[in-house]
Amino acid sequence: MSLDIVILAAGQGTRMRSALPKVLHPVAGRSMLGHVIHSARQLDPQGIHVVIGHGAETVRERLGAEDLSFVRQDRQLGTGHAVAQALPGLTADTVLILYGDVPLIETATLRRLLARVTPDRLGLLTVNLADPTGYGRIVRDAAGAVTAIVEHKDATEQQRVICEGNTGILAVPGQRLTDWLGRLSNHNAQGEYYLTDVIAMAVADGLVVDTETARDPMEVQGANDRRQLAELERHYQWREALRVMAAGVTLRDPARFDVRGDITVGRDVTIDVNVILEGQVVIEDDVVIGPNCYIKDSILRRGVVLKANSHLDGAVLGEGSDAGPFARLRPGSSLGPRAHVGNFVELKNAQLGEGAKAGHLAYLGDATIGARTNIGAGTITCNYDGVNKHRTVLGEDVFIGSNNSLVAPVDISAGATTAAGSTITQDVPAAQLAVGRARQRNIEGWKRPEKIIKP
């Protein structure tokens, strides 16, 4: 069975009160439309057709990809009219309609829906609602067969009592679509070409409308304003929290845990409150993450301890290493097994070998640091001369005294020591002591200046 997917994303979204097109507003760090496209791709369709209108150019720029075809709908004349714009590109046996502002739809639900479609059967996704106000209502005959969808504004009092609502998500046999959409009219309460009128046409043509129900109403919930956007965000985060807990993670508070990307977690991981995981994050077994940590595109190997308020971006923390509180590891940084980085230490493109340590207040940029080497408090690499970046290379078992300035490019070989307060501008051979500071003088009989009293 071949599949074309049409995603409606042309609407304005006035209630967002935003310069950004509605479908580009993010849920969990990814635009709503991005979520829908992501789910659509999992179904391996032959085509994904995105109907755009308001903010069309911005949407195309932000989400353009080879496997997407964008179709313009310059005037929003209704959902039926929107799908009709995509018709020239639709050639598959089955056409599935999705919505750019309904981001949490799950592929498992869509698969169940698609399984119902045959050349003479449609699949309609419905939802049972406590308050169906605003939704199209599913009208069934005495035998329970679907006969039509009636929009809220066109519905009679008896029809408004129906609690089964139309989600809008629909899968239809492709060959029929051109005929049905061509016969739509806009003689209704809203003066729009309703996609939903296709249902009654299909029934009149002798097709059966089979329904599937969204188990979780949030899956089919759209966002029209920022409050609904926040509700979707919270729901998404709750779902992620359940997923990681099921995988063996203790979350100190699942309501204060945010995932904005794809994460892989091991067992017996503990995550304290207010931790944000973004991009591609891998957390192996027995990792402990303290409160208020931000972790982006990083790997935390088995047994890592990341203490409170640390910030990781593009970092790899080796087995049993620890960092923080208040550590900042920037792209290209790595800690070898059991290496240690303490408070107010910033690493950028710096690699610490096994058991190396930088306990306090340091900036290590463009540096290679050998196993067991110790960096004293207050040490910085002077890696930038105002034009180019240079590397600092420290061998194994080096001891850098406190408050050193390591002026790159510079090499300090294995076992060397530098005196506290040194400015190191020359390479240091193995096992030697480098002293790079002015010698101290004590001046006997020196008097402090006295305050001049003005007349």
Q: Say whether 125 sits in a helix, a strand or coil.
A: strand
Closest CA to 100 of 54, 61, 65: 54
**Least distance (Å) between residue 295 CB and ligand UD1:** 33
**Least distance (Å) between residue 135 CB and ligand UD1:** 4
- Is residue 98 within 8 A of residue 169, CB to CB? The reply is yes
**Least distance (Å) between residue 99 CB and ligand UD1:** 5
Q: Look-up: residue for tokens 């010698």?
A: 439
**Least distance (Å) between residue 278 CB and ligand UD1:** 27
DSSP count for the chain of H helices, then E strands: 8, 35
- Per-residue contact flags (x/-) with ligand UD1 for residues 292 to 321, judged by CB under 6 A: ------------------------------
Q: Which stretch binds ligand UD1 (CB under 6 A): 191-199, 262-270, 299-307, 385-393?
A: 191-199
Q: How far apart are CA 345 and CA 385, in angstroms?
A: 21
Q: If binding is defined by CB under 6 A, does position 165 make contact with ligand UD1?
A: yes
Q: If binding is defined by CB under 6 A, does position 219 make contact with ligand UD1?
A: no
Distances (CA, A) of 372 to 161, 339, 419, 434: 73, 8, 18, 19
- Is residue 300 within 8 A of residue 285, CB to CB? The reply is no
**What SS3 string covers 70-117?**
EEECCCCCCHHHHHHHHHHHCCCCEEEEEECCCCCCCHHHHHHHHCCC
- Is residue 346 within 8 A of residue 363, CB to CB? The reply is yes
- Number of residues counted as binding ligand UD1 (CB under 6 A): 27
Q: Which is nearer to ligand UD1, 76 or 213 (CB)?
A: 76
Q: If binding is defined by CB under 6 A, does position 211 make contact with ligand UD1?
A: no
- Is residue 166 within 8 A of residue 136, CB to CB? The reply is yes
Q: Say whether 167 sits in a helix, a strand or coil.
A: strand
Catalytic residue among 152, 235, 360, 390: 360
Longest CA pairwise span in the chain (Å): 111
Q: Which is nearer to ligand UD1, 185 or 388 (CB)?
A: 185
Q: Which is nearer to ligand UD1, 8 or 263 (CB)?
A: 8
Q: Which is nearer to ligand UD1, 232 or 364 (CB)?
A: 232
The single residue among 31, 39, 109, 166 that binds ligand UD1, judged by CB under 6 A, is: 166
What values do phi and psi take at 343, rounded to 5? -70, 145
Q: If binding is defined by CB under 6 A, does position 222 make contact with ligand UD1?
A: yes
What values do phi and psi take at 240, rounded to 5? -65, -40
The single residue among 39, 126, 196, 321 that binds ligand UD1, judged by CB under 6 A, is: 196
Token code pair at residue 268: 């017996």
Q: Which is nearer to ligand UD1, 198 or 251 (CB)?
A: 198
**Least distance (Å) between residue 37 CB and ligand UD1:** 14
Q: If binding is defined by CB under 6 A, does position 8 make contact with ligand UD1?
A: yes
What values do phi and psi take at 151, rounded to 5? -65, 150
Q: Residue 360 catalytic?
A: yes
The single residue among 6, 11, 355, 379 that binds ligand UD1, judged by CB under 6 A, is: 11
Q: How far apart are CA 126 and CA 116, in angstroms?
A: 14
Q: Which is nearer to ligand UD1, 189 or 255 (CB)?
A: 189
The single residue among 70, 194, 257, 326 that binds ligand UD1, judged by CB under 6 A, is: 194
**Least distance (Å) between residue 231 CB and ligand UD1:** 15
Q: If binding is defined by CB under 6 A, does position 45 make contact with ligand UD1?
A: no
Chain centroid to CA 392: 35
Q: Say whether 17 sits in a helix, a strand or coil.
A: coil
Q: Which is nearer to ligand UD1, 8 or 214 (CB)?
A: 8
Q: Say whether 180 sits in a helix, a strand or coil.
A: helix
**Least distance (Å) between residue 108 CB and ligand UD1:** 20
Q: How many CA atoms lie within 13 A of 207 on its CB side?
A: 26
Question: What CA dihedral angle connects 334, 336, 342 and 345, to 10 degrees?
Answer: -30
71 to 130, contacts with ligand UD1 by CB under 6 A?
Answer: 73, 76-79, 81-82, 99-101
**Least distance (Å) between residue 22 CB and ligand UD1:** 7
The single residue among 32, 51, 155, 251 that binds ligand UD1, judged by CB under 6 A, is: 51
Q: If binding is defined by CB under 6 A, does position 213 make contact with ligand UD1?
A: no
Distances (CA, A) of 87 to 15, 68, 392: 29, 15, 61
Interface with ligand UD1 (CB under 6 A)? 8-11, 51, 73, 76-79, 81-82, 99-101, 135-136, 149, 151, 165-168, 194-196, 222
Catalytic residues: 360
